[in-house]
Amino acid sequence: MGEFKKCKYCQTDIPKKAKVCPNCRRTLKSHGCLIALLSFFVFVCIGMAVISGAFGQNKFMQKAISGTSDESEYITMEEYNLIDTGMSYDEVKEIVGSDGEVSSQVESNGIKIVIITWYGNGLAGSNANVTFTNNEVTAKAQVGLQ
Ligand SMILES: [Zn+2]
């Protein structure tokens, strides 16, 4: 039997030469290596946080504003360009891939004007408004689509 020492983590008697505690599996000694590894890990974590923060903020903001989490619900510039006057709401809905939100609805003398807003994929606040008169596109406008 060799010499024994106490594991500083779990206080179990373990062989003095053990580099890993057989009881709690923690690495003993080689602190310098562990600290280097740990600081590298922290550094990577900070780096990742900064990168994802810079790139993720826009989508996060967009989510917070529009309340949608599914990216396919956003309208893109490409989809916007496909919308043409005379199209029905169903056709536009198919192009964008989502229902959009009714932002205005007026009906008088048998003419029904509905403005539907789709949130854009661009910067926070980007969107497209499509005006339907009697279920036909009569006007469209967009802000900040990509
Ligand atoms: Zn231990």
In angstroms, what is the span from residue 132 Cα to ligand 1's centroid? 72
27 close to 20: Cβ distance less than 8 angstroms: yes
Of 18, 42, 66, the position where a domain reaches its end is 66
In angstroms, what is the span from residue 142 Cα to ligand 1's centroid? 64
> Are residues 89 and 103 both part of a single domain?
yes
Give 91-115 pLDDT, tens digit per residue.
Answer: 999 999 999 999 999 999 999 999 9
Of 33, 66, 99, the position where a domain reaches its end is 66
Residue 116 has pLDDT above 60, yes or no: yes
> Are residues 10 and 24 both part of a single domain?
yes
In angstroms, what is the span from residue 93 Cα to ligand 1's centroid? 62
Assigned token pair, 27: 């690495």
Q: What is the DSSP letter of 81?
A: H
The range of the structural domain enclosing residue 55 comes to: 4-66
50-84 burial string, b = 16+ CB within 10 Å, else e? eeeeeeeeeeeebbeebeeeeeebbbbeebbeebe
Predicted local distance difference test score (pLDDT) of residue 144: 92
> Are residues 54 and 8 both part of a single domain?
yes
> Are residues 49 and 78 both part of a single domain?
no
Residue 127 has pLDDT above 60, yes or no: yes
In angstroms, what is the span from residue 85 Cα to ligand 1's centroid? 74
Of 15, 35, 66, the position where a domain reaches its end is 66
In angstroms, what is the span from residue 57 Cα to ligand 1's centroid? 43
Give 42-73 pLDDT, tens digit per residue.
Answer: 888 888 877 766 655 555 555 555 555 556 67
45 close to 34: Cβ distance less than 8 angstroms: no
63 close to 69: Cβ distance less than 8 angstroms: yes
Find the CATH number of the domain harbouring 83: 3.30.1450.10
> Are residues 58 and 36 both part of a single domain?
yes
Query: Residue 131: how many CB atoms within 10 A of its CB?
Result: 17
In angstroms, what is the span from residue 63 Cα to ligand 1's centroid? 47
Predicted local distance difference test score (pLDDT) of residue 62: 53
Give 9-52 pLDDT, tens digit per residue.
Answer: 999 999 888 888 999 999 886 555 667 778 888 888 888 877 76
Assigned token pair, 30: 């080689």
Total tally of structural domains belonging to the chain: 2
Which residues sit opposite 143 in a β-bridge? 127
Predicted local distance difference test score (pLDDT) of residue 100: 94
Predicted local distance difference test score (pLDDT) of residue 122: 79
What's the rounded Cα separation, in Å, for the pair 9 and 28?
Answer: 9
